[in-house]
Amino acid sequence: MSDVHASPKGNAMKDEYHISSLVVLHRPDATNTLKAFVDLHAALDIAVQGECRCVMVCETASQRAVMDHIDALEALPGVINVSLIYHHVEPRAVMDDVVQIATTSQGTAP
């Protein structure tokens, strides 16, 4: 059986970096459960916390890992829904590139 993700240089999935944004709708009493879950999963971070919803950032090495985190969040008591709002993929090697900021003739960004 062949791996559909294989490339001549190896498994292409290992060379990816996935950045996702999730909106989690939850009951107010689930806030502490969500925070505890995030504390146990280095790939997750709560960016904004509200009374009944929060925005999470998820950084993983594969799309499957993003979906696994969504499934696990949805299974938590008090979580009503998890929506994937944003998903971006970059080759892992690009993540170390230095970003050049364009400047105007006066030395400030536009």
62 lies in some domain: yes
> How many domains does the structure of the chain reveal?
1
13 lies in some domain: no
38 lies in some domain: yes
44 lies in some domain: yes
81 lies in some domain: yes
Give average pLDDT by consecutive 10-residue segment, the chain, 110 residues: 37 77 98 97 97 97 96 98 95 73 67
Quote the pTM value.
0.74
Q: Single out the residue of 23, 29, 78 nearest to residue 48, CA to CA.
A: 23
Bridge partners (DSSP) of residue 59 are 19
84 lies in some domain: yes
40 lies in some domain: yes
11 lies in some domain: no
* Residue range of the domain that includes 46: 27-91
